[in-house]
Amino acid sequence: MNLSYPDYVITPAKCKFVSLSHTEIRTRLILKANLNIEYHNNLLFILMNPSKANRFFSDRTVNKLAHISYFDLRSLCIGSFSVVNVFPFCRSNSSELHDTLDETINVSKRFYYRQLTLNLREIYSSIDAADYVFLGTGGIPANIQDKEEYDFMIKTIHSYVETLKGQALLGKGENNETFLKDGKYSYHLCPNGNPQTINRARFFKLRAGKFVEESKIEYQLFY
């Protein structure tokens, strides 16, 4: 079921999709939407993988990101938000991402690795263009076959953030003792509260690949 964007999001949004011929496999490299507000800062979210959102229709995750940008982080003067992902392959249920990755590799390794390369370029340029970055990649899913590749992707993204911005927002839920999953990953921004609702965010510096607390100021996330 397609969801509408909130009325404070200006549509159509901007998207970059690529499809693999004669299959249902497709990638979304970036989604960007302007907010109906007199601010100009861009907030970049880096998540696990894209779902259904496109130029005209949203999904639960993107609507959550819109709410965070427009309401919860109002003090940062966000006028637009963008979304990129560790893996650009579209899958509504992120717990089934491994199936999409395996299918794509089996159909066309060339397409698979070409999209990963293009995706990293898009992530780099998006971080460079953003005013703030919110990391919500989650850790490495247990059912992912190539965990070394997944870890490499996240470490590469962290290195981009460290080099270009030096800091990022991290989120946590009530059941998390810290803002880091397994001491090194950001928590996944799940829209349905599974496994939990991320309801707080805080800035952290990145130094030599490690997160260092930047501020005691916490932002409450209510969506």
72-97 tens-digit pLDDT? 999 999 999 999 999 999 998 878 89
Confidence check: pLDDT of 1 > 80? no
Structure tokens belonging to residue 140: 């490495």
More confident residue, 1 or 132: 132
pLDDT reported for residue 95: 80
Q: What is the reported pLDDT for 195?
A: 55
C-alpha dist (Å) from residue 164 to 105, 149, 150, 191 = 31, 23, 21, 28
Among 93-97, 122-126, 162-166, the range scoring the smallest mean pLDDT is 93-97
- pLDDT for the residue 84: 98
The helix or strand, by DSSP H or E, that contains position 215, with its residue range, turns out to be none
**Domain residue spans of the chain:** 9-220
- Sequence-ordered strand ranges (E) for the chain: 9-19, 26-35, 41-47, 78-85, 132-135, 167-172, 200-207, 210-213, 219-220
Report the mean per-residue pLDDT for the chain: 93
Residue type at 82? S
**Does pLDDT of 194 surpass 60?**
no
Query: What are the backbone dihedrals phi and psi of residue 102, each rounded to the nearest 5 degrees, phi first?
Result: -65, -45
Task: List Cβ neighbours of 102 (8 Å cut-off, separation of 6 or more).
Answer: 145
| Whether the Cβ atoms of residue 214 and residue 204 lie closer than 8 Å to each other | yes
For residue 72, which phi and psi values (nearest 5 degrees)? Answer: -70, -30
Q: For the full predicted model, state whether its pTM sits above 0.85.
A: yes
Cα–Cα distance for residue pair 165/147, rounded to 1 Å: 27
In the predicted structure, residue 7 carries a pLDDT above the cut 80: yes
**Which pLDDT belongs to residue 220?**
93
Q: Reply yes or no on whether the pLDDT at 192 is more than 80.
A: no
Whole-number Å distance between alpha carbons of 30 and 50: 9
